[in-house]
Structure 1
Amino acid sequence: MNDSPTQVTNAAVTSSALGVLQERGFLQQCTDIQILDELFNKGSVGMYTGFDPTGPSLHVGHVVPLFAMAHMARCGHTVYALIGGGTAKIGDPSGKSEMRKMLTPEQIASNGESIGRQIMQFFQKAGVSPDRVRIVNNSEWLDGLRYIEFLRDIGKHFSVNRMLSFETYKMRMETGLSFIEFNYQLLQSYDFMVLNRDHGVQLQAGGDDQWGNIVAGIDLIRRTGGKQCFGLTYPLITRTDGKKMGKTEKGAVFLDPALTSPYDFFQYWRNIPDQDVGSFLKVFTFMDLAEIEQLSHLEGQAINEAKERLALEFTRLIHGEVEAQKALETARSAFGSSAGADISAMPSLEISREEFQKGIGVLDLFARTSLCASRSEARRLVTQGGARIQDQVIHDPETIVQEQFIQDGQLILKAGKKRFFRIILVP
């Protein structure tokens, strides 16, 4: 088994599935890539990726594997989305500098149901046949494990020295690795073994920080006499401006509209750096590569056309056509300051007229919106000249906002050049 982290970005492949992943930038590392390529050419292959339900919603970091899985399914393969209802009770140390917060079994179960719905909705909007998608939950086989038997039958195949050689564990050893987290690799490997044994799954794919866990699963299957299996990882998607992909001033960009509004979701992609347009169109849309090539070569103001297209296509996949078009129209009207334009999709908050009659401090007002996380952040925005109310720059952090700012029963707040929020006046 080839378990070294070999770069395979430019490896010669002939199958449609690996070809698509390679062309669109999903292929980072792979075990035995030529043999896997031959296997893809022979027929349908089962592939899985895991999603631990540590929160009620997926965020855009989870969407990279979902797009890759959709491409696989479109090429005729069967994809398994594994909800980590069992492993979430321990916590994956991969890519983390400290131990995850423990959730209750009830929280994990609720999160798993919510994430499962989001995954199926994504595949439905992506045009993937339901026959090509399976959702499984590892709590089905992990919750009932007998620990002594598990250690005897599964744990004996793992070398502690080898586990500690993987980068994930090296990083955590510096800050402290709990014994409960040390079990995670055994459980993820066991997941792969169960899916291989019961469903014939031969490929596990995940982010590049999962390489150690993936090859450990392949090794376990080999040692226990299972079918030959393979591992594949996606590169870490980064922004050229150094900001973490999918992060904003208010936190992660979620798929749940209650956590990240369709307008904010749209605006995140509309405001990416110019240099990222081409690669993000390949990863986060299903657009034809020839059209992507044309859009990625636009320059100057014209590049905004490509950004708008990226935002529209991606928002349509997550929130549907109606919300995507509404976000597009709202963004255009906000930037163009079009009189009477529909801005209903803009994030909003209702505040009573009585409050404005008494007066609201500008720092308090901005801190109550998604534009600023706190009064101190609002103060920095104001003192740096980035705060506007109804297109009027606010320089004084002691400004009291009253009814004189209200137009047509509302106020439009602006942070910087591209972030807007609507305050709706109510009786």
Structure 2
Amino acid sequence: MTTHMIEAGKPATKLKSEAAQVLFERGLINQCTDIEALDEALASGPVTAYAGFDATGASLHVGHLMPLMTLRWLQKLGHRPIVVLGGGTSQVGDPSFRNDARPLLDGSQIAANIAGIRRSVERLVDMRGPDGALLVDNAEWLTEFRFLEFLRDYGSQFTVNRMLTFDSVKSRIEAQQPLTVLEFCYMMLQAVDFLELARRHDCTLQIGGSDQWGNIVNGIELGRRCDARRLFGLTVPLLTTASGTKMGKTADGAVWLHPEHLSSFGFWQFWRNTADADVPRFLRLFTEMPISEVIRLSELQGAELNEAKKILATQVTAIVHGPDAARAALEQGDALFSGSDEIAEPTHRMERHRLAEGLGLLELIVGVGFAASNGEARRLVEAGGVRLNGQVVDDPRRRISSGDLGAEDRLSLAVGKRRKALVEFG
């Protein structure tokens, strides 16, 4: 099986399919198994492709957008996407590049998380019509297996020697952290997902993050050994900023896709605050504008680049939250960036019990995503750049109490001229 590391916009060979050309052009391909054969398949007719998402949270976050945008482009170009919601694998937890085990979730938590994720996915891919995108739950087949049957049918297809070579496993072992048998079996379950989707829906392409490469390769090899199937794998790049910081999720300030967890305006504001160096890449990855327009906007400099950031924010918000929400966020942003701290709707929500537990100002700043750490938040406060309810706060030891809340249990927080939030406690 041949594999290729991909440089965005520069395929190793001349491509035949529009789908492969677009994915290269947008920078959505990092690694691929046998790109020439996949390109041939994409050019020959509709291909069914899938990406899977475990239900470890109540919403997906921006780190999940690249595989979803890849599925979205494939659908626009005549191929069929499948989104797998991991009701089965969420009971195990993916150990990939983690130093500890994920907390195990019960059935009710997983079901609630799947319902939240489903609402976001349904906006990103079109499920209408007989050829619409499919949403499936891998619990449909994984929970049907009996242990001895699973070992007999699939356990013999994997070797521990091979599994120990994957980076996701090696990183845990090198960190001298325990890796349970439960977690070790995760890659087997994901491989079976690919085989089942191939059998049930003629799915021949799996899309995942760069940390999923080993799991994807396992599925391809399982399909070949069990059914002599020709399957393909494709990974998207790790989502990082130009400074090298991983995007998507922090301990307290995740950039969620679902408006119940981060408002449309909070989502819009995240993209509006994109660093200058990241604008060209994010326009390619997260909008559907023609490349010629992406190039034009990417060449803007100085104050003009702020217009490109507004377009980026509005375009991404329209895809994830809908055009109406994007227009409303743009209007609110125009008013906010004119100098006012007034925000009409909450941008963030926090649990009210955090006030009783002694929520600190630094935690609040980190929690809304205005700083990456308490140390960075402290420097902002000491520099006089933080305003709470319109008033400058210069004490980094400041605690937030119920007395800081105004109407409807809300408070406003601003850092500098551009970063502003309205936090609701409920």
Distance 1:154 1:406 in 2: 57
Task: Go from structure 1 to structure 2 and tell me whether the alpha carbon gap of 1:108 and 1:21 turns closer, same or farther (over 3 Å shift).
Answer: same
Residue 279 (structure 1) shift: 0.8
Shift of 1:194: 0.8
List per-residue Cα deviations over 1:139-170 (Å, max 9, x = no partner): 01001211111111111011111111111111
**Equivalent of residue 259 in structure 1, options 248, 258, 261:** 261
In 1: Cα distance, 2:66 partner to 2:107 partner = 27
1:353 aligns to what? Answer: none
Alignment deviations for residues 263-309 of structure 1 (CA, whole Å, 9 cap, x no partner):
21111111111111111011111111110000000011111111110
- Runs of 5+ consecutive residues of structure 2 not aligned to the other structure: 351-358
Question: Relative to 1, partners in 2 of residues 1:232 and 1:383: Cα closer, same or farther, differing over 3 Å?
Answer: same
1:168 matched to which residue of 2? 168
What is the DSSP-based 3-state SS (H/G/I as helix, E as strand, rest coil) of the residue aligned with 1:345?
A: coil
Task: Say whether the 8 Å CA contact 1:218–1:231 is kept in structure 2.
Answer: yes
Larger Rg: 1
1:303-343 CA distances to partner (integer Å, 9 max, x unpaired)? 111111000111112222232222222222222125xx973
Aligned to 2:356: none
Which residues in structure 2 correspond to 1:101-116 (within 5 Å)? 101-116=103-118
Aligned-partner Cα distance in 1 for 2:6–2:367: 44
Residue 12 of structure 2 aligns with an amino acid whose one-letter code is A
Counterpart AA for 2:292: A
1:297 pairs, out of 278, 296, 299, with: 299
Equivalences for 1:129-140 in 2 at 5 Å?
131-140=131-140
The CA distance in 1 between the partners of 2:365 and 2:236, in whole Å, is 37
- Structure 1 position 115, deviation (Å): 1.2
Q: Report if aligned partners of 2:92, 2:183 keep a CA contact under 8 Å in 1.
A: yes
Distance in 1, matches of 2:406 and 2:108, equals 46
Aligned to 1:354: none
Deviates more, 1:257-266 or 1:363-372: 363-372
Contact conserved, 1:192 with 1:204, CA < 8 A, in 2? Answer: yes
Q: Map residues 196-275 of structure 1 onto 2, 5 A cutoff.
A: 196-247=198-249, 250-275=252-277
Counterpart CA distance in 1 for 2:79 and 2:366 is: 47
**What's the offset of the Cα at 1:396?**
4.8
Within 1, Cα distance between the matches of 2:138 and 2:349?
A: 40
| Cα separation, partners in 2 of 1:398 and 1:43, compared to 1, 3 Å | closer
Residue 321 of structure 2, aligned match among 298, 319, 322: 319
Unaligned runs of 5+ in 1: 351-360
Distance 1:263 1:78, change over 3 A: same
What is the alpha-carbon distance in structure 1 between the residues aligned to residue 132 and residue 343 of structure 2?
A: 39
1:17 shift after superposition: 0.8
1:370–1:238 CA distance, 2 compared to 1 (3 A) = closer
Residue identity opposite 1:96 in structure 2: R
Q: Percent identity?
A: 43
Report the equivalent of 1:393.
392
Match of 1:27 in 2: 29
TM-score by length of 2: 0.86
How does the TM-score come out when normalised to structure 1?
0.86
Other structure's SS at 1:255 match: coil
Q: Which amino acid aligns with 1:46?
A: T
Note closer, same or farther for the CA distance 1:218–1:396 as it changes in structure 2 (3 Å cut): closer
| Counterpart contact for 1:5–1:211, Cα < 8 Å | no
What is the rounded CA distance, in whole Å, between the counterparts of 1:21 and 1:101 in structure 2?
Answer: 35
1:221 & 1:400 partners in 2: Cα distance?
A: 57
How many Å separate the matches in 2 of 1:380 and 1:165? 43
Q: Are residues 64 and 128 of structure 1, via their aligned partners in 2, closer, same or farther at CA, if it must alter by over 3 Å?
A: farther
- RMSD in angstroms over aligned alpha carbons? 3.4
Alignment partner, residue 347 of structure 1: 347
* 1:280 match: 282
